[in-house]
Structure 1
Amino acid sequence: DWIYIPIPVDEYTMQHRGFNQVEGLIGDLPYSRVLKMKKIRRDKKQSEKSRSERLKTQQPFEYIGDKLQGNYVIIDDVYTTGRTLYYAQELLLKNGASRVCSVTLAR
């Protein structure tokens, strides 16, 4: 069995959009919210950053769940550099996940 992990959105996005688009993509699949965006001063939107700026981004997530067991699928809406998925995978593996895969809607 696989457990789905949506990439979280930051507070600014949640306040302005009102929903997490990745959770909307998941639909009725069971998922777990074990990742949370760190409070980071936002100078630019991700979409406004160059590739090199995105690659320099520090770990944007914190882990907020219990010890993990089993296999996980990270789900994100857009894959640009892979940095977001890398950071999410790093935290899941560090917290006990056996295996981590990812799915994105667009590249």
Structure 2
Amino acid sequence: MWAKHPNYSDVLISNHSIYEYNDSLKELIKRFKYNGDYALAGCFRQELIEHIKLYKKSIIIPLPVSSLRLKERGFNQTEALLECAGISYENLLKRIDTEISQAKKQKAARHKGENPFQTEKVLNGENILLIDDLYTTGTTIRRAASVLKKSGAGEVRSLTIGR
């Protein structure tokens, strides 16, 4: 499932989601992400490996979670997906702690507020592949892409498990 939006062209080339977000995927992600069933990352292993092969010359960057979310969950779900698949990645982004997670916000509220991402890395035109579990409104991924573009990234694309 490819998503391209006219406003993405300045920061995000495209997003590819492996699966459509339906009730089954919703339950699986909930069990994995919120109930701590870390082993469920293996469900996505083969598809993730196959899709990432298409981006050979890109730096793989998982979307970070805030330190509050990391403490609550005990793991970053996106890093868990990559680790389970044996995919190397770089942590070039840091997420600033916010009181309310994106998942708990209404659509309009997701678009408001400050960009929660930062990077200290200066890039020199490298292509980036952002990885996240879900693509909802695209705000999170576009904000991360914006920070990387300002830091000197070349093309930024994203790959998510569901949309």
The reply to whether TM is greater than 0.5 is yes
Residue of structure 2 equivalent to 1:54: 110
Residue of structure 2 equivalent to 1:33: 91
Q: How far apart are residue 78 of structure 1 and its match?
A: 0.8
Q: Return 5+ residue gaps in structure 2 as ranges.
A: 1-56
Tell me the TM-score normalized by structure 2.
Answer: 0.60
CA–CA distance in structure 2, aligned partners of residues 56 and 68 of structure 1 = 27
Q: Which letter does structure 2 place at the counterpart of 1:102?
A: S
Matched, 1:6 2:6: no
Query: How well do the aligned residues superpose, as a CA RMSD in angstroms?
Result: 1.2
For the pair shown, which has the larger CA radius of gyration, 1 or 2? Answer: 2
- Choose between structure 1 and 2: higher strand proportion: 1
**SS at the partner of 1:74?**
strand
Q: Which aligned segments of 4 or more residues in structure 1 are displaced greater than 6 angstroms?
A: none
* Cα deviation 1:1-57 (Å, max 9, x = unaligned): 1110100001111111111000111132121111001133x0x33222110111113
CA–CA distance in structure 2, aligned partners of residues 46 and 97 of structure 1 = 25
Residue of structure 1 equivalent to 2:75: 19
Q: Which letter does structure 2 place at the counterpart of 1:11?
A: S
Tell me the TM-score normalized by structure 1.
Answer: 0.89
Q: Return 5+ residue gaps in structure 1 as ranges.
A: none
Identity %: 38
